């Protein structure tokens, strides 16, 4: 049996499940993926509710621990297996990476509502952004441009898991055809070519 069991959404559209799977691959860890059909409410079923008290995906099971919340999971993996790193070693840069992760999970709700990850992983195009959506997009772009000065390939000098999370948020706009500066498009495309990311992006998905 695999050392880790990772419960993910059955459609493989959760950016948070993606972040954890990428982390496991980057660490070179053996794991079993278990799909959970959110459309059918499998995350609310008694067996899953007993396993994952928050009834969310992703949930990682390891050594009797069932841990939800993707950034908590990636930090747990980093603590257990420091090499290769998911986060910068420098405390200031590590704080930046964690800030980006927390921000894209807790803010920018209009983007997440108007540009669901069906845009990213199924190619489903959406209508133009609302005023609130455009304001959120402007904020995202301004922050990303400040974090990524001209010529920067990654947020923190070297790759970190936060680059995956920021690239997903940018690709919600880019892959819908919304206006995003070219250098941010190039940044997101660069993250999309990483083998651990390609594995998630290219996997077979059930029809909508």
Query: DSSP letter at 129?
Result: P
Among 17-21, 23-27, 36-40, 96-100, the minimum mean pLDDT is found in 36-40
Give the pLDDT confidence of 132-168 residue by residue, as tens digits: 999 999 999 999 999 998 889 999 999 999 999 999 9
Give the pLDDT confidence of 33-92 residue by residue, as tens digits: 999 999 899 899 999 989 899 999 999 999 989 999 999 999 999 999 999 999 999 999
The whole-number average pLDDT for the span 93-117 is: 97
- What local confidence, expressed as pLDDT, does residue 208 receive? 86
Q: What is the mean pLDDT of the chain?
A: 95
- What local confidence, expressed as pLDDT, does residue 1 receive? 47
Distance CA 151, CA 119 (A): 28
What strands lie across the sheet with 4-9, from one edge to the other?
Answer: 31-36, 4-9, 59-62, 65-68
H/E stretch holding 147: helix 131-147
> Domains plus CATH for the chain?
4-85 (3.40.30.10), 91-196 (1.20.1050.10)
Give the pLDDT confidence of 161-201 residue by residue, as tens digits: 999 999 999 999 999 999 999 999 999 999 999 999 999 99
Residue-wise DSSP of 18-79: HHHHHHHHHHT--EEEEEE-TTTTGGGSHHHHHH-TT--S-EEEETTEEEESHHHHHHHHHH
């Amino acid at each position: 049996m695999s050392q880790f069991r990772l419960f993910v959404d059955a459609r493989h559209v959760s950016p948070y499940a993606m972040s954890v799977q990428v982390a496991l691959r980057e660490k070179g860890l053996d794991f079993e993926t278990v799909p959970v059909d959110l459309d059918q409410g499998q995350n609310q079923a008694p067996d899953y509710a007993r396993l994952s008290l928050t009834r969310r995906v992703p949930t990682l099971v390891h050594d009797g621990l069932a841990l939800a919340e993707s950034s908590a999971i990636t930090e747990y993996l980093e603590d257990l297996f420091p090499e290769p790193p998911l986060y910068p070693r420098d405390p200031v840069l590590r704080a930046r990476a964690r800030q980006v992760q927390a921000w894209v999970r807790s803010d920018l709700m209009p983007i997440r509502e108007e540009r669901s990850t069906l845009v990213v992983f199924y190619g489903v195009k959406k209508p133009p952004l609302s005023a609130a959506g455009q304001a959120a997009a402007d904020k995202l772009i301004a922050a990303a441009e400040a974090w990524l000065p001209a010529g920067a390939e990654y947020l923190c000098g070297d790759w970190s898991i936060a680059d995956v999370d920021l690239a997903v948020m940018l690709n919600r706009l880019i892959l819908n055809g919304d206006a995003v500066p070219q250098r941010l498009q190039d940044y997101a495309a660069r993250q999309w070519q990483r083998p651990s990311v390609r594995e998630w992006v290219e996997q077979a998905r059930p029809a909508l």
